[in-house]
Amino acid sequence: MADEKIVIGTETKYPLNGILTIPNETNGLFPAVVLVQGSGPSNMDEKIGNNYPFKDLAEGLSEKGIAVLRYDKRTLVYGKEMRNDTGISVKEETIEDAILAADFLRKDPRMDSNKIFIVGHSLGGMLAPRIDAEGGSFAGVIIMGGSPRKLEEIMMDQNNDVLNSLNKFLKMIAKKQIAALSSKFDNIYYLSDEEAKSTKVLGRYVRAYYFKEMGEHQTINYLKTLDKPVLILQGEKDFQVTVEKDFDVYRNLLGDMPNVTFKLYPNLNHLFMPSVYGEILKAKKEYKVAQRVDKQVINDISDWILSI
């Protein structure tokens, strides 16, 4: 395979460095995927601790004859310039660049422009159906460790999981902080956009508008009307989203749709790597252990893409 250095959004205010991994075989045009990261500033390899899931996916899928495009996230490169913009939403953070990436692949004469796919991980998976609807126009949508819920619901659940594992004294302090955050979240959909832009909910920079705008474009509403192929994957030992509240809910809501395929992997965590500690309180330690994306996951994604 060959790694080509590229730039996404050269004509925008926010050009982003990326890598296009090209397979060795050249029997005609390549199918291709755009990789979209999870929450927070993230590099093109989606480095988390000592793990590089997007690098693993790029290498694994290109070995199967699929070209892969990955790039640095806008908030990683331009976070300082963006943080004072009170109107930041997932559109500016993620969606616009993913659409530019899809267009980039379509213009490459080596790619099959009818076989461009999106692989969204975590928050990227939640946004993938919206990215498709707003201009990505993919041949199919792959969601890895995503959720049909709202972002703030997932965050509150994660906070409560941490809370339940604390000692009595710490629990008392954390309970108050979580209750305060919960009351902020409860109110966001009653705010006007302008009020939401001036209401801080997390730290010094994250505004209510970020959650409100995303919550008003729920992933499940896009998925219910989608008739193109969808592949939904999750690790059974994922502690950031859960089988019960996320994967099973996807299945209950979309299980009758013939275009949707589901796959659950025993003993894999949120990065689709073998589970180490399996609990949210030890997330940092879990991701410090250097691992690779499970081969079966890569095989299933490539088989699914090549079957379309």
Structure tokens at 17: 């460095």
Residue whose C-alpha is closest to residue 14's, from 66, 56, 91, 77: 77
- Total length of the chain: 308
| 185's tokens | 């979240």
Residue 250 tokens read as 């996807």
111 residue type, one letter = M
Amino acid identity for residue 88 in this structure = I
| Residues labelled as active-site residues | 122, 238, 270
For residue 63 the two structure tokens come to 């070995």
Give the span between the Cα atoms of 110 and 119, in whole angstroms: 20
Query: Can you read off the two tokens belonging to residue 281?
Result: 């309180």
Token couple for 256:
């009758």
Q: Which residues pair with 20 in a beta bridge?
A: 4, 69
CA dist 96 and 90 (Å) reads: 9
